[in-house]
């Protein structure tokens, strides 16, 4: 049986794509996934272009793996493996990849991977390279087989691409324009995932709350309405959605938290900066004030709402005062979780041409300060869970040898606690006894 090694970089949407690629190559061409690259006939990288570091990491890892695989296969007297690069770097740089890594024979984009079996057939017949990274006119989702390997938490991409063109961001160029999947397709996929054992459904989109999909009668649904429909499907015990954009918020998306018991009390709402001046330069389309109002509404509708965000420090022109505004916002909101990055200039984006770059030592120092405060609040918010009973969806065994289980609360906090493997895939009430920097600990209320 032919073997596939696939390495994933980037966001949850890429992870979702990777799982669909694995399934498709298994069903249509009999590839079995392996964790050992030296055993693979086909080596694929699903890549991320969001920051320069991600791109650098890709080429160093690609070179390292190529050497390892080539040596191992030569020693075993096997044909060389086929190397392919997909995802957002492939979309952004296309055939350039062949110049930087000549042993790569295949380049495909995030919107063309449904054509992979045909591309592979061609490369088997013919020598040379193949680049297929057009934004496809047809929907890849119509062409793909359904997933078979499903865990307790399963993802469904409902919206792709982005029209916002924030000054720093490559996503509109790598994923294309905003596009929403039809309601019926999503409901069908959710039904299938539940039948395969999924308990929690995560709806994914670059701007998931920009969702505007049609049902079969031609009625447009926003995300809140889509969630209402999904909640009616039997077996869907939990629903979560990521990532939302502050400029696409609606009151209905807040109110559904009071109406839909399956909806997890977790809201990922990136703000990037606490300074109105920087938000404007970034082209985010909302103010600090408007953001804080949405946070207040979300906490008013549910006191346990976990709020997560993303930050960029060192955006061109960011002054010390702008940065202090970001720190003040962090103290004001007390985020449950956040991702934070130094600004990375990306080719083709508007910010790459802006004056007043922030020196990298300054950005690095700001990031360290910001992360110290974000970590403080994350720990604080975790510690505030002590004594509460949390509904934990058990995902699997915790670290090897601990004999414990690990799962997620509705606020997406990780909880480790003792319990039998039979609980995997179930929602278990757990009394929280300890709040740690990145997780909680506790004990199940009922013995098995």
242 near 408, Cβ under 8 Å?
Answer: no
Q: Residue 143 burial (CB < 10 Å; 0-12/13-18/19+)?
A: middle
How far apart are alpha carbons 201 and 353 in whole angstroms?
A: 40
20, 49, 181, 245: residue in contact with ligand SAH (rule CB under 6 A): 245
For residue 358, give the nearest of 385, 318, 388, 398 by alpha carbon. Answer: 318
- In the complex, least distance from residue 381 CB atom to ligand SAH, rounded to whole angstroms: 20
Q: Name the binder of 438 from ligand SF4, ligand SAH, ligand F3S, none, CB < 5-8 A by kind.
A: none
* Residue 168 contacts ligand SAH per CB under 6 A: yes
- Within 10 A of 3 (CB to CB), how many other CB atoms are there? 17
Q: Is residue 58 involved in binding ligand F3S (CB under 6 A)?
A: no
* Residue in 18, 159, 206, 275 binding ligand SAH, rule: CB under 6 A: 206
**265 SS3 class:** coil
Binding pattern for the stretch 124-163 against ligand SF4, x by CB under 6 A and - elsewhere: --------------------------------------x-
> Considering the complex, what minimum distance in angstroms separates the CB of residue 194 from ligand SF4?
29
DSSP state for residue 263 in the 8-state scheme: B
Query: Considering only residues 44, 88, 223, 307, which one is a binding residue for ligand F3S as defined by CB under 6 A?
Result: 88
Which value, to the nearest 10 degrees, does the dihedral of the CA atoms of residues 29, 34, 36, 40 take?
-10
The 10 Å Cβ neighbour count of residue 448 is: 10
- Round to whole Å and give the CA distance between 227 and 220: 13
Choice between 312 and 333, CB closer to ligand SAH = 312
**Is 23 in contact with 39 (CB distance < 8 Å)?**
no
424 binds ligand F3S (CB under 6 A): no
| x/- track of binding to ligand SAH for residues 261-300 (CB under 6 A) | ---------x-x----------------------------
Q: Out of 112, 206, 209, 382, which residue is the one contacting ligand SF4 (CB under 6 A)?
A: 206
| Residue given tokens 């069903």 in the structure block | 27
Q: CB under 6 A: which stretch of 28-36, 90-98, 165-173, 352-360 binds ligand SF4?
A: 165-173
In the structure encoding, which two tokens stand for residue 130, read together?
């193949």
Nearest CB to ligand F3S, comparing residues 144 and 169: 169
Shortest Å, Cβ 123 to ligand SAH:
32
DSSP state of 433: E
Q: Does position 245 bind ligand SF4 by CB under 6 A?
A: yes
DSSP string, 115-163: GHHHHHHHHHHS-S-EEE-S--SS-HHHHSPPP----SEEEEEEEE--S
By the criterion CB under 6 A, which residues form the site for ligand SF4? 162, 164-166, 169, 171-172, 206-207, 245
Residues interacting with ligand SAH, by CB under 6 A?
A: 50-51, 168-169, 171, 206-207, 243, 245, 270, 272, 310, 312, 341, 343-344, 346
Residues lying near ligand F3S in the complex (CB under 6 A) are found at: 10-11, 13-14, 48-50, 87-88, 170-171, 174-175
């Amino acid at each position: 049986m032919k073997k596939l090694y696939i390495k994933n970089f980037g966001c949850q949407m890429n992870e979702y794509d990777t799982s669909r690629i694995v399934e498709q190559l298994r069903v249509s061409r009999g590839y079995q996934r392996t964790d050992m690259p030296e055993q693979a006939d086909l080596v694929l990288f699903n890549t991320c272009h969001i920051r320069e570091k991600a791109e650098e990491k890709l080429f160093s890892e690609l070179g390292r793996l190529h050497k390892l695989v080539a040596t191992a296969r030569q020693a075993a007297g096997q044909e060389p493996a086929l190397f392919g690069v997909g995802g957002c770097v492939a979309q952004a740089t296309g055939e350039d990849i062949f110049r930087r890594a000549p042993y790569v024979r295949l380049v495909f984009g995030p919107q063309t991977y449904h054509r992979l079996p045909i591309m592979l057939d061609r490369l088997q017949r013919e020598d040379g390279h193949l680049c297929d990274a057009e934004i496809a006119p047809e929907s890849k989702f119509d062409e793909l087989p359904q997933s078979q390997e499903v865990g307790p938490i399963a993802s469904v991409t409902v919206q792709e691409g982005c029209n916002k063109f924030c000054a720093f961001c490559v996503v509109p160029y790598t994923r294309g324009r905003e596009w929403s999947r039809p309601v019926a397709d999503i409901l069908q996929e959710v039904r299938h995932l539940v039948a395969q054992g999924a308990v929690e459904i995560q709806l994914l989109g670059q701007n998931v709350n920009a969702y505007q999909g049609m049902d079969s009668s031609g009625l447009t649904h926003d995300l809140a309405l889509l969630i209402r429909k999904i909640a009616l499907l039997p077996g869907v015990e939990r629903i979560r959605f990521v990532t939302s954009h502050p400029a696409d918020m609606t009151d209905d998306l807040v109110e559904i938290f009071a109406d839909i018991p399956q909806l997890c009390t977790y809201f990922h709402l990136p703000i990037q900066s606490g300074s109105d001046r920087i938000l404007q330069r970034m082209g985010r389309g909302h103010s600090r004030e408007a953001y804080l109002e949405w946070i207040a509404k979300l906490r008013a509708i549910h006191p346990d709402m976990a709020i997560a965000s993303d930050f960029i420090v060192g955006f061109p022109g960011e002054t010390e005062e702008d940065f202090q505004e970001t720190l003040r916002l962090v103290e004001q909101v007390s985020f449950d979780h956040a991702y934070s990055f130094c600004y990375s200039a990306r080719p083709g984006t508007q910010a790459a041409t802006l004056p007043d770059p922030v020196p990298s030592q300054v950005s690095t120092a700001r990031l360290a300060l910001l992360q110290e405060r974000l970590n403080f609040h994350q720990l604080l918010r975790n510690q505030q869970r002590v004594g509460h009973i949390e509904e934990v969806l058990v995902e699997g065994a915790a670290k090897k040898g601990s004999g414990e289980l690990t799962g997620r609360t509705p606020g997406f906090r990780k909880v480790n606690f003792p319990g039998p493997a039979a609980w995997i895939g179930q929602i278990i009430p757990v009394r929280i006894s300890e709040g740690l920097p990145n997780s909680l600990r506790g004990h199940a209320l009922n013995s098995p």
